[in-house]
Structure 1
């Protein structure tokens, strides 16, 4: 996609937002209480499955600054009461750990979603559009679309991308369709490839979505988008624009993204049961001024 074509698409999506200049919830407006109640009806097995990757503390090509898990107090051989204590230090926005991007995460020409001034982000955090908007949690119907499965492959190779036709084909093959208020999860197989082939520099090469997919998400009124990559293909599919899906989804539409999830526990269950929708619970940390949060989303089948 050319830069001019991308900017035209960006302007079209940005002006399509229907909630007015004061809105700060973005696509979460599509998920109302009725949608959450309906999502509870997706539960059949009573089984909870994590969609988060395990937090890693080792340095790898895709995780040069890993989380640091440090013990403050260890075990005690003495008598009486004692406590073991630990501390964790994480880079929220990386290429390995599962996280949720807030609407203040992407800045375009000095502005955040819905024209909010980027100056609202200071050394003290974000006073507008922070992850605090999701502090009560997000609970809705999750829909998993397994693109490699539809293609008959274990994963998409780095640099490959998911098209609109890929998503529509996956929907037909799986007998499910993403709709208003859904939490859409797109599997590209990133985590499985990483497990079997080992980590690589995902910032330089990864499978993701084509920017042409984002208008479909807007049309379907999806509430949250998640992937086992970070949503964007690398190298970028747009001339002169890095992370075009992040720009279109977060900045233009107000659509929160979940990056670097893992679906290797969920996908086999969906395949065995023939059901690719479920209740999905997303619980970010309550960081009132954060630009994102580590997450452990749970699919309840």
Structure 2
């Protein structure tokens, strides 16, 4: 196998066996009843911010990775089913790739050299029923705890970072200092690049071709801080195109560290509120759907300030 630089990093930060040979939760193991209770102190006003983009045909998908935008269809309308007592009923269904909008990458989304997280072989992902181990439903009840938003785009003085702009460890620490916060064990890191704002305001044409995002060097920093999860407002968390392999940060965070990644999170309203009062940490919930065998899941994260 080719020895890419990210594989060396992966060996250095590997969590394989850290929580047992059969573990399927990865860094969500940092989240405990104590960390959840402690994180309640980050709720100050009770204001809630839902962090997803609309589920529907207005999304960014153009066929990349065989993904389409969600298709919503009404199967029953009030004119189809009305009772003699005047009661009317509606029903509907949706067809969608699980990772077409605001979503979570599960631990079988990316592997390399024959294995997923914790040594699970690639053939644990089957063509029929999906993952037999490391499926997204194994991560339930998901993340609940303290989260910190680092608004790197605003620190750069623009609405969004340029395509290909790598967010480095120095950027993260500069944003921490500006916000007066420090990320630690069991926290979730949310990074605003502004890339979603670009898509929402200028349209999705070319939006999936490249992006600003976290540099591969951030993996060691994330590991040292013992973070439970990372989410961004771009479509792939890391800076793309990458300079070392296909998706080197995904490979290390998901396969080696066992970390779920959040993508296409709408951080605009939350960032505006944080800027207004200078408070950048809050309580966050983010739970995957109970999708048996899934490699990822739609999510509606909620930040409570």
TM-score (norm 1): 0.92
Counterparts of 2:219 and 2:129, CA distance in 1: 32
Q: Deviations over 1:21-41 (max 9, x none)?
A: 332221111111111011111
Counterparts of 1:261 and 1:58, CA distance in 2: 15
| Map of 1:192 onto structure 2 | 197
1:157 to 155, 158, 162: 162
Counterparts of 1:60 and 1:298, CA distance in 2: 22
Identify the range of structure 1 (128-137 vs 164-173) with the bigger mean alpha-carbon deviation. Answer: 128-137
Identify the range of structure 1 (118-127 vs 60-69) with the bigger mean alpha-carbon deviation. Answer: 60-69
| Map of 1:137 onto structure 2 | 142
Counterparts of 1:194 and 1:261, CA distance in 2: 12
Contact 1:145–1:186 (Cα < 8 Å) also in 2: yes
1:84 to 86, 90, 93: 90
Q: Deviations over 1:205-251 (max 9, x none)?
A: 1111100011100000000110011212221131xx11111101000
Contact 1:180–1:223 (Cα < 8 Å) also in 2: yes
Task: Compute the displacement of 1:272 (Å).
Answer: 0.9
1:118 aligns with 2:98: no
Contact 1:203–1:234 (Cα < 8 Å) also in 2: no
| Map of 1:50 onto structure 2 | 50
Contact 2:6–2:252 (Cα < 8 Å) also in 1: no
* DSSP-derived class of the 1:71 partner: strand
Counterparts of 2:11 and 2:300, CA distance in 1: 33
1:246 to 225, 247, 250: 250
Question: Relative to structure 1, is the Cα distance of residues 21 and 88 closer, same or farther in structure 2, using a 3 angstrom cutoff?
Answer: same
Task: Compute the displacement of 1:42 (Å).
Answer: 1.0
Counterparts of 1:93 and 1:143, CA distance in 2: 23
1:179 aligns with 2:184: yes
Question: Relative to structure 1, is the Cα distance of residues 252 and 74 closer, same or farther in structure 2, using a 3 angstrom cutoff?
Answer: same
Task: Compute the displacement of 1:59 (Å).
Answer: 7.0
List runs of 5+ in structure 1 lacking aligned partners.
none
| Map of 2:228 onto structure 1 | 223
Q: Deviations over 1:2-61 (max 9, x none)?
A: 963222212222267633433222111111111101111111111110111112314756
List runs of 5+ in structure 2 lacking aligned partners.
none
Q: Deviations over 1:102-161 (max 9, x none)?
A: 111112122100111121111112111111123323211011000011111211111111
1:236 aligns with 2:242: yes
1:298 to 277, 282, 302: 302
* DSSP-derived class of the 2:230 partner: strand
Contact 1:210–1:237 (Cα < 8 Å) also in 2: no
Aligned alpha-carbon RMSD (Å): 2.0
TM-score (norm 2): 0.91
